[in-house]
Amino acid sequence: MLRSLLVANRGEIARRVIRTGRRLGIRTVAVYSEADVGLPFVAEADEAVLIGPANPAQSYRNIEAILAAAKSTGAEAIHPGYGFLSENAGFARAVVDNGLAWVGPGAEAIAAMGDKINARNLMAAAGVPVAPGTTDPATSADAALRAAEEIGFPVMVKAAAGGGGMGMAVADDAERLRAEYDKVRAFAERMFGDGAVLIERYFPRVRHIEVQILGLADGRVVALGERECSVQRRNQKLVEETPSPALTAAQRAELLAAAVRAGEAVGYRNAGTVECLFDPGAGRFYFLEMNTRLQVEHPVTEAVFGIDLVEQQLRVASGLEPTFDPDALAVTGHAMEVRVNAEDPKRFLPGPGAITTWVEPGGAGVRVDSGYTAGNTVTPNYDSLMAKLIVHGADRAGALAKLRTAVAGFEVAGPKVNLPFFAELLDNPEFVSGDYDTGIVARMREVKK
């Protein structure tokens, strides 16, 4: 097992990785920006290195500064968390070239899956279902229109690079397509340095379901169940649960098998997620993208399988076997997670500020992965995620009841917080029934107008 680990991230995911490192006897190193000097993850690591100012480009995305911190502290490996440099093939390659272990998939797999068009084509060749769409970038609005007319409106206009639900728009006619094409292309060039755009069939009433995969040190790829991620705002997830209430046993088996094929197609190692769209009416699913990193929502998978995914990541990076039997995986109960963000619960706009009250719920089957506590300040420099609230129950009804109680018991004052939205959602008949889709938040807001 690795003996020392630098965590190239911040907030709750840095604390999450540090916690597992401590349990395994691994010396942990945190890197932090000037804006994060007082956050819990800095104090909880065995060693912490200041790497730059608040601007992520000068700190958490500063490859040279992170590698220098690893060298000065004698770290053997780097865990990138999620966001920032976690899916940067150049960073993964630089880590290995500097004689360090990279806790993630190889740079080749990251690069292959980082371009959504290339990823779609690779998956189609591997027999993984993909939605009707372009196999090459749409190089102009006219080209995008020709593709849309062939695919059929409505269509999704998507940046080929990037991720996290950014750089996406829906067009239901030619005029809207031209406008959205120009916006998405400009956004992609600005945010990702790559203006390539793809056009893909848009499914109005669809569910977002993903599969957790783990590429083992011996070359096998295993699937650790699926996660339902259909509660979203602006294509970004707010709530996750597992198992998905949408799937039959046969559909689940088909989805997990396809996810394994996807991982095998790129020689995947370490933890990753195969994201899909599921059309409940047709009972069909389509490959969306592969996230070549640990996901924000990984704790729900940990809850139902009783597996520490960060530990498995570290074991793969160390060339060790997993702690579980891949041929005897079994789901126990039901788990749900909500993302507690510093944002307005109605408009979902960021609401940073100093935290004056922070009281986390507790009890059996309740877990909180937090990045902040009372006295800290949520700044506008980074993502608004403050904590993740996870519950595990014997079944979906039990998990839902436990989550209601936990949400009511989570007290945060100072910044704006989206907890009131979750209280509303958890009593929404559509969500309670389990028969919901990615349009649920929009429908909830439409009803309140």
Q: Say if residue 449's pLDDT is above 80.
A: no
* Residue 113 resides in a domain: no
Describe the strand order of the beta sheet including 197-201 as a list of residue ranges: 168-171, 155-159, 197-201
Q: Could you tell me the strand order of the sheet in which 77-79 lies?
A: 47-52, 27-33, 4-7, 77-79, 101-102
Report whether pLDDT(222) > 80: yes
For residue 164, the model assigns a pLDDT of 65
Quick one: 219 and 187 in the same domain?
A: no
Residue 293: active-site member: yes
Q: For 91-107, how does the pLDDT look when each residue is reduced to its tens digit (9 = 90+)?
A: 999 999 999 999 999 99
Per-residue pLDDT tens for 301-349? 999 999 999 999 999 999 999 999 999 999 999 999 999 999 999 999 9
Q: Compute the distance between CA of residue 419 and CA of residue 439 in angstroms, rounded to an integer.
A: 20
What amino acid is encoded at 138 in this protein?
A
As a whole number of angstroms, the distance between CA 182 and CA 167 comes to: 11
- My answer on whether 137 and 190 are in the same domain is yes
Specify if 110 maps to a domain: no
Residues 287 and 266 in one domain: yes
CATH number at residue 195: 3.30.1490.20
Determine the Cα–Cα distance for residues 361 and 322; give it in Å rounded to an integer.
Answer: 32
**How confident is the model at residue 398, as a pLDDT?**
98
Q: Are residues 224 and 99 in the same domain?
A: no
**Residues 241 and 143 placed together within one structural domain of the fold:** no
Q: What is the pLDDT of residue 418?
A: 98
Alpha carbon distance 241, 231 (integer Å): 10
Domain range for 85 is: 4-103
pLDDT above 80 for 47? yes
Cβ pair 297, 225 in contact under 8 A: no
431 located within any domain: yes
CA angle 430, 431, 434 (to 5 degrees): 95
Exactly one of 293, 315, 339, 367 is catalytic; which is it? 293
- Could you give the angle at the alpha carbon of 160 between the alpha carbons of 286 and 282, nearest 5°? 15
Structure-block tokens of residue 14: 């840095």
Q: Where does 126-243 have alpha helices with state H? A: 141-151, 174-192
Domain count, the chain: 3
Neighbours of 357 (CB within 10 A): 9
Q: What is the pLDDT of residues 11-42, one digit of tens each?
A: 999 999 999 999 999 999 999 999 999 999 99
CATH number, domain of 38, equals: 3.40.50.20
Q: Does residue 281 sit in the same domain as residue 315?
A: yes
The CATH code of the domain that includes 214 is 3.30.470.20
Q: Are residues 215 and 191 in the same domain?
A: no
